[in-house]
Amino acid sequence: MGQSRISKIERARVALRRFTDREDGSILIFSMFLLVGIFIIGGLAVDFMRIETERAKMQSTVDRAVLAAADLDQTLSPANVVKDYLAKAGLTDTLVGEPTVSEGLNYRIVSAKVQDDVPMFFGGLSRIFSPNARVHTSMTVPASATAQERVARVEISMVLDISGSMSSNSRIQNLRTAATDFVTTVLDEESSDLVSVSLVPYSEHVALSADLFNAMKVNKTHSYASYCLEFADSDFATTTMHPNTNYNQVQHFQWVNNSYNDMSHTVCPTVSYAPIMPWSQSQSDLTTRIAQLQPYSQTAIYLGMKWGVGLLDPSMNPVMQTLISKNKVDAVFADRPTAYTATDTLKFVILMTDGENTSSYRIQDWAYSTDSYKENWARYNLIWYLNRYVSSRNRSQYYYQKADSDYGDDMLEDICDAAKNAGIIVWTIGFETSSHGAEVMEDCASSPSHYFDVEGIEISDAFHAIATQINNLKLTR
């Protein structure tokens, strides 16, 4: 009985020892699998660290490349800038297709995509578990970037021809429609405090408002409400105005329409719709004035352009300050016109004409030297008076030719060149003009693509095309 019991205990011990032996084997096998798993994970971690390093390098390079290419001051081809950055980083072969570039007057958007196959050194370890497992020898790593630069603030001068020829073929009506559409497009709700528009109607001369006239230093030659300034030839070679240097006031008289004693089209316009409206952001004020425009007298494109450019020049800031102090200009524009070096501002002139520069005359100084002379010329048309009261051999002594077409073309070329050299973008519109007029206007434009040759209602298309490009200028960098 006792022996039988001992045998049973011994058999239990053997069985327990065998069980223990079997458990040790299982733990060993489990440990081996665990070690292999750790090795695989470690290997994949090394691979993924290499992949991430390569991806970071590619992303950093393409980011820097598109940022440099999108810089508006960058004069090189944006696509070539991207390629150059990649080449210097040894990533030339990673570029997918060509960089995409979208740009306008105030913006540039550049996108690029790169892609590389990075070898995976430990991708084959998966076959330890299954001979048929898929082996990853490499991984495709993509990176892409888009950069854009936009200019926040915009200064615009609209220089509009209101000479007598604008009465033909519904030109003045078509101009009013086109200019109104332009203003409502560039001065939408998002443009508040960002876009300033100066309206510069011109005919034989450019009239100033009384406030603008009084904000300038002027040698007043008469006391009539006729506010125009004379410029020297050298003034057209520069964008600069000289608000602290005395300009001479244009004489108050008329020489055209001399078949009767007409005084409705004086050299310096005195009609209510003619004066410059400077630095405005009011849709209603601008469109109301545009709706009032009427044909008036001769054509001096060069004078319109001089004032349009001058109102964009930083030298006019003291005048701006004076008008702000009189609540004639919004104080938000106190720092305008900004310096040409300001990177957050673009300046535009939109110059429109339907003709060519014409002649203009002035009275000789001696015949405008007394109050009685001035009163006489304010009452009587110059040529009408001379033809009736002065001997034919003496008439030419009373006046001289201030300008002719060739002079006007030369001065216009000078001021257009000065504007473009200063960085002002010049758009020009030849509205049913002659071949010579079209040539002069195209030469004034910043490039051939900045010139429009239009007829009839096409003038609205021209103004709208310009406004559409400028309309993006309200977004900041």
pLDDT digits (tens, 9 = 90+) for 187-238: 877 666 789 999 999 999 999 999 999 999 999 999 999 999 999 999 999 9
Instruction: Report, as an integer, the average pLDDT of 328-350.
Output: 93
What contacts 111, CB < 8 A, 6 or more positions away?
66, 99, 100, 144, 145, 146, 147
Amino acid at 293: L
Amino acid at 95: L
- The answer to whether the beta carbons of residues 165 and 295 sit under 8 Å apart is yes
Percent of the chain residues past pLDDT 90, beyond the cut: 68
Interatomic CA distance for residues 348 and 158, integer angstroms: 8
Residue 254: pLDDT over 60? yes
15: tokens are 């069985």
- The answer to whether the beta carbons of residues 348 and 425 sit under 8 Å apart is yes
Helix and strand totals (H; E) in the chain: 12, 13
Interatomic CA distance for residues 281 and 278, integer angstroms: 10
pLDDT digits (tens, 9 = 90+) for 5-34: 556 656 656 655 665 555 555 665 555 566
Helix 2-70 and helix 78-88, axial crossing angle in degrees, nearest 10: 140
Span between the terminal Cα atoms of the chain, in Å:
102
Residue 324: pLDDT over 80? yes
Q: Domains in the chain, please, with CATH?
A: 2-150 (no CATH), 153-474 (3.40.50.410)
- The answer to whether the beta carbons of residues 310 and 241 sit under 8 Å apart is yes
Phi and psi angles of residue 195, each rounded to the nearest 5 degrees, phi first: -115, 125
pLDDT digits (tens, 9 = 90+) for 28-48: 555 556 665 565 566 566 666
- The answer to whether the beta carbons of residues 179 and 139 sit under 8 Å apart is no
Interatomic CA distance for residues 351 and 161, integer angstroms: 8
Reported as a pLDDT band with limits 50, 70 and 90, residue 476 is very low
Residue 151: pLDDT over 80? no
What contacts 22, CB < 8 A, 6 or more positions away?
none
Interatomic CA distance for residues 7 and 17, integer angstroms: 15
Amino acid at 438: A
Instruction: Report, as an integer, the average pLDDT of 63-88.
Output: 89
Which of 258, 458, 474 has its CA nearest to residue 346?
474
User: Which residues make beta-bridge pairs with 400?
Assistant: 362
**How far is C-alpha 375 from the chain's CA centre?**
47
Interatomic CA distance for residues 317 and 279, integer angstroms: 11
CA separation, residue 290 to residues 245, 299, 305, 355, 459 (Å): 31, 18, 18, 20, 15
Residue 298: pLDDT over 90? yes
CA separation, residue 213 to residues 233, 238, 360 (Å): 21, 20, 22
Which of 196, 448, 459 has its CA nearest to residue 338?
196
Q: What is the pLDDT of residue 477?
A: 32
pTM for this predicted structure:
0.72
Interatomic CA distance for residues 229 and 207, integer angstroms: 8
Catalogue the E-assigned strands of 87-224. Answer: 100-103, 107-119, 138-150, 153-161, 195-202, 218-219
Residues in the chain: 477
Ranges 107-116, 196-205, 435-444: which has the least confidence: 107-116
Which of 29, 98, 19 has its CA nearest to residue 65?
98
